[in-house]
Amino acid sequence: MKKNKSPCIDICEFSGPKGWCIGCGRTRDECQKWKTLKPYALNILCKELDRRMAQIKQN
């Protein structure tokens, strides 16, 4: 199974709401654990990141 590519766009500024990166929407902890997440967990997180990025763009 193909591994999901990281959503990182090399901005890495964790000043978003709740400590989310303004570039990809992940927390520092999620960034560190990205490579070890199982496919199911990655799918859930990717859907959550879409919602987070929409929130970040609204602010």
What is the structure's pLDDT at 3?
A: 62
Token digits for 20?
């989310």
Q: For 1-59, where are the alpha helices, taking DSSP H only?
A: 28-33, 39-58
The values of phi and psi at residue 8, to 5°, are -60, 135
What is the chain's length? Answer: 59
Give the mean model confidence (pLDDT) for residues 34-57.
Answer: 94
What is the structure's pLDDT at 2?
A: 57
The number of distinct structural domains making up the chain is 1
Q: Domain containing 40: what range? A: 34-59
Residue 4 lies in a domain: no
Q: Read off the pLDDT of residues 22-42 as tens digits, 9 standing for 90 and up.
A: 999 999 999 999 999 999 999
Choice between 36 and 59, residue whose per-residue pLDDT is larger: 36
Token digits for 50?
């879409």
d(CA 56, CA 16): 7
Residue 41 lies in a domain: yes
What is the structure's pLDDT at 50?
A: 96
DSSP 10: S
